[in-house]
Amino acid sequence: MSSRELILGRVRRNQPPWRELPSVPGFGRAPGDPLAAFGAALARMGGRMATAPAGESLDAFIRTVCPQARVVCSAVPEVAGTRAIASVAHPAELEDVDVGVVRAVFGVAETGSVWLSEREFVVNALGFLPQHLVVLLDPQAIVANLHDAYRDPGFHVARYSVFMTGPSATADIEGVLIRGAQGVRTLTVIPVAPAANEAVIQRRTS
């Protein structure tokens, strides 16, 4: 007998009597100011929110957010950076990147998380191998909590998707918190609507 048959047979023989699946309510409590709630939650997780002054280009603003950056690799049309993600053939080529720039599909006010999939990263390692990450987020695209977040149809189509909540972190030695464990050292969210706003709003409300 194959292990598959053996395991399934034993599981079915041993399953306790039927128990019902409860339905999960939404626990919806939309915050009055979703962006402020998002920013506060993000700050608790070690991330920061930064708004570009009117008239300043995003490229220039990212230079002020990450002043040491030499290599900026952008996966968004709004930021040119110094390297286009389209030119990256293998994820290891991102090793020398100082700042990765991506656009989140949506944010979660409860936790300060942003949701990104392979479509936004283009090369998934862009979220982890650079030293710093800048995430553009449409202030209109913020859901209240994780229950709402998991209703996004993206979970049924994305091969790979993540909630990123602040930079990588560890407290494995004596509980001392280190922001910037092995992934990105900082994570900055810039609230800015995409150039072509319609498509995103439609997606969020459909």
Partner 1 sequence: MGRVDHAEASSKFIEAKDHADFHDKRLWDLRKKRDVVSEAIPEWEQLRSLASAIKEHTLTHLGDYLEAFEKKATANGMVVHWARDAAEHNQIVLDILESHQATILVKSKSMLTDECEMRPFLENRGIEIVETDLGERIQQLDDEPPSHIVVPAVHKLRGDVAKVFARTIGTDPANSDIPYLAESQRRHTRPYYLKAQAAMTGANFAIAETGSFVVCTNEGNADLGVNLPPLHIASIGIEKLLPKIEHLGVFVRMLSRSALGSPITQITSHFRAPRPGAEMHVVLVDNGRSERLGMEDFWYSLKCIRCGACMNTCPVYRRSGGLSYGSTYSGPIGVIIDPTFNLRKYSSLPFASTLNGSCTSVCPVKINIHEQIYKWRQIIAERHQLPMVKKEAMRAAGKILSSPRLYRAAVEAAAAGIERLPRFMVYNPFNAWGRQREVPAAPASTFRQWYVKNRGGGR
Question: Alpha-carbon distance 184 to 98, whole Å?
Answer: 9
Q: Which of the ranges 4-12, 49-57, 66-74, 97-105 carries the binding residues for partner 1, by CB under 8 A?
A: 4-12
- Out of 178, 192, 193, 201, the residue judged to bind partner 1 by CB under 8 A: 178
Residues 39-68 binding partner 1 (CB under 8 A) are: 41, 44-46
- Listed in sequence order, the residues at least 6 apart from 191 whose beta carbon sits closer than 8 Å to its beta carbon are 35, 49, 51, 137, 138, 139
Q: How far is the CB of 195 from partner 1 (least distance, A)?
A: 27
Q: How far is the CB of 167 from partner 1 (least distance, A)?
A: 7
Q: Which of the ranges 20-28, 57-65, 68-76, 194-202 carries the binding residues for partner 1, by CB under 8 A?
A: 20-28
Q: How far is the CB of 140 from partner 1 (least distance, A)?
A: 22
Residues 81-120 binding partner 1 (CB under 8 A) are: 91-92, 95, 110-113, 118
Question: Alpha-carbon distance 197 to 194, whole Å?
Answer: 5
Question: Alpha-carbon distance 21 to 80, whole Å?
Answer: 49
Q: Per rule CB under 8 A, is residue 32 in the interface with partner 1? A: no
Q: How far is the CB of 44 from partner 1 (least distance, A)?
A: 7
Question: Alpha-carbon distance 78 to 44, whole Å?
Answer: 28
Q: Residue 136 class from Cβ within 10 Å (0-12 exposed, 13-18 middle, 19+ buried)? A: buried
Residues 137-166 binding partner 1 (CB under 8 A) are: 145-147, 149-151, 155-156, 158-166
Q: Which of the ranges 48-56, 98-106, 167-175, 197-205 carries the binding residues for partner 1, by CB under 8 A?
A: 167-175
Q: How far is the CB of 180 from partner 1 (least distance, A)?
A: 8
End-to-end Cα, the chain, rounded Å = 48
Closer residue to partner 1, CB minimum distance, 113 or 194: 113
| Distance set, CA 23 to CA 19, 26, 108, 133 (Å) | 13, 10, 22, 37
